[in-house]
Structure 1
Amino acid sequence: MLDIFATDPEAKAQREEREEARTRAERPSFAFQFRSGKMNGRQPVSLKQWRITTPRQAVAEALKELYGGTITEATNGDFAVDTDQDRISVVVDVSKIESKLIQWADGLPIHECDGSKYLSPEEDKGKPCDCPKLLEERKEKAKQRRGPKPNIVIPIRLPLDEELGLGKYTATAWSFAEDLPYTMKALSRIDGEALCVLRLEHVEYTLKSGEKREFTKPVLDVVGSFQDAIADDPDLES
């Protein structure tokens, strides 16, 4: 059997560290994923209505039945449901939300921190990271691919059809990260799962030069306790 590391234990240790990082980066299997954008060739495009991707045709058809739209093929081969909705009710468990800053290279995290301290690799965990203190500088480094950007994973269920299983939304927008402390505070006031609305907010603004810009901002609005919502509206319980 080939063993190219037999005479180079240091290289072997480095390779094993990368493999461990890959394992840490893996997520649980999700039945569907909300997306606020898509690729048009090599160009990312923001969407005004939610796109939901899934590897299962039956799930895609059920999502279309719930939220309208059309079913196409995503770039990774999954089914993509381009819905008619810019806001969708979801059920969120605050204890399951994961938030961090990650910089990726070749499919692996090369910088993983909580904004002030490293989360990996293990030998650096807890040590101060080298991220800029100012938010605008963080954004600029991330834009230049020299620094990490938000990676906020929100596991979600759909109150209108919980049998579809567990899905997720992964937020990478700085605007979402800026809102997150206040969203988490609202979620923490709720005992148990929360009923929320995941929506896409269309924002337009004008630069000092007079040039007009627009973008889509993902937002998670906390409505209240899911159990209370069920009591008020039994139709929400699948």
Structure 2
Amino acid sequence: MLDIFATDPEAKAAREEREEAREAARARSNRPDYAFQFRSGGMVNGKPASFQKWRIATPKLNVVEALKELYGGTVSEAPNGDYILDTATNKIEVIVDASKIESKLIQWADGLPIHECDGSKLLSPEAEKGNPCGCPRLLDDRKERAKQRRGPKPNIVIPIRLPQDEDLGTGKYTATAWTFAEDLPYTMKALAAIDGEALCVLRLEHVEYVTKSGEARDFTRPHLDVVSSYQDAIADDVEPDNEPPY
């Protein structure tokens, strides 16, 4: 059996340390099973594209059927077997628990995170947690490095439930847009002002612009708008018992 480390125990120790780091990264990347996932972009005809209406993916047939009843649209099947609903709406009410939102910057390679930070300090590996992450100081430079795949980009995971049908369980939306990350501190401030879960609206804004060279461009900007306390919203929906006696 090949043993390239037989004469170099230091190299073997370094390799084992890297493998342990990879296993730890895999463990960190494992998340609870979600009943559905909102998507604001994906691959269309082999090319990345942003959507003007929400796309929802789920592995469950009963869930996609219920979602279609709520939001309209068309259902298809993804290569991995998931059901895909391309809805007919760009605005969907959701229930959000601010304490469960996860936000960081991640750079991926081979399906695993190779750089995780909070914008200033490393979040992994454990031995380096808290050390300066080395990301550029200026936001534009961070964006450029991420665009060139030489630096991390936003990874904001928002667990959500649907007020129209809570029995569908918990889904999620993973935001990777820099515009969403720039809004996040203000969104979190609005959520912090609410006691308990919040009623919010996940919204897609279609933006059109012209470049300096005169080219017409467009993109979709995702938003999370905080509406009110979910408990308050429920209370407001309860009709008073004012029916006349018989």
**TM-score relative to the length of structure 1:** 0.94
Trace 1:43-192 onto structure 2 (pairs within 5 A).
43-192=47-196
Query: Runs of 4+ in structure 1 displaced over 3 angstroms?
Result: 2-7
Quote the Cα distance in structure 1 between the aligned partners of 2:232 and 2:45. 45
* Larger Rg over CA atoms: 2
> How much does 1:41 deviate?
3.5
Quote the Cα distance in structure 2 between the aligned partners of 1:95 and 1:47. 28
> How much does 1:4 deviate?
9.0
**AA in 2 matched with 1:117:** K
SS at match of 2:123: strand
The aligned residue for residue 193 of structure 1 is 197
**AA in 1 matched with 2:142:** R
Match of 1:36 among 37, 40, 43: 40
Quote the Cα distance in structure 2 between the aligned partners of 1:50 and 1:86. 6
**AA in 2 matched with 1:198:** L
Does structure 2 conserve the Cα–Cα contact (< 8 Å) formed by 1:193 and 1:225? Answer: yes
Does structure 2 conserve the Cα–Cα contact (< 8 Å) formed by 1:152 and 1:171? Answer: yes
Cα shift readout 1:94-150 (whole Å, capped 9, x = no counterpart)? 000000000000111110000000000011100111100100000000000000000
SS at match of 1:50: strand
The aligned residue for residue 10 of structure 1 is 14
Cα shift readout 1:177-204 (whole Å, capped 9, x = no counterpart)? 0000000000000000000000100111
Cα pair distance change 1:59/1:210, threshold 3 Å:
same
**TM-score relative to the length of structure 2:** 0.91
Quote the Cα distance in structure 2 between the aligned partners of 1:117 and 1:130. 8
Quote the Cα distance in structure 2 between the aligned partners of 1:106 and 1:209. 36
Match of 2:217 among 213, 220, 231: 213
Identify the range of structure 1 (63-72 vs 74-83) with the bigger mean alpha-carbon deviation. Answer: 74-83
> How much does 1:5 deviate?
8.0
List gaps (5 residues or longer) in structure 1: none
Identity of aligned residues (%): 71
Does structure 2 conserve the Cα–Cα contact (< 8 Å) formed by 1:5 and 1:12? Answer: no
**AA in 2 matched with 1:206:** V
Q: Give the length in aligned residue pairs.
A: 235
